[in-house]
Amino acid sequence: MNTNFPPGTRVWYWNARAQVQYGTVTGVNVMPDRTQILTIRDDGGTTINLPTV
């Protein structure tokens, strides 16, 4: 499946404290319903998984 966020893509998101976090996509997983889940390593070194919109 094609993705708009291939590994290496720089991204940003808001964290729970409404602060912008920057990171790099390290992987993409696709759920059975075709939802894409990005694995992101933020600039602080934390790895998180977020769905794409």
Per-residue pLDDT at 1:
61
Cβ-in-10-Å burial (0-12, 13-18, 19+) of 43 comes to exposed
- 21, part of any domain: yes
- State the residue range of the domain holding 38: 10-51
- 1, part of any domain: no
- 4, part of any domain: no
- Report the distance separating Cα 32 and Cα 7, nearest Å: 20
- Based on the structure, what is the number of domains in the chain? 1
- 5, part of any domain: no
Which two three-digit tokens encode residue 30? Answer: 């696709």
Could you list the pLDDT tens digit for every one of the 53 residues in the chain?
678 899 999 999 999 999 999 999 999 999 999 999 999 999 999 999 999 97
- 2, part of any domain: no
Per-residue pLDDT at 3:
82
Provide the 10 A C-beta neighbour count for residue 10. Answer: 11
Residue ranges with strand state E in the chain: 10-14, 20-30, 36-42, 47-51
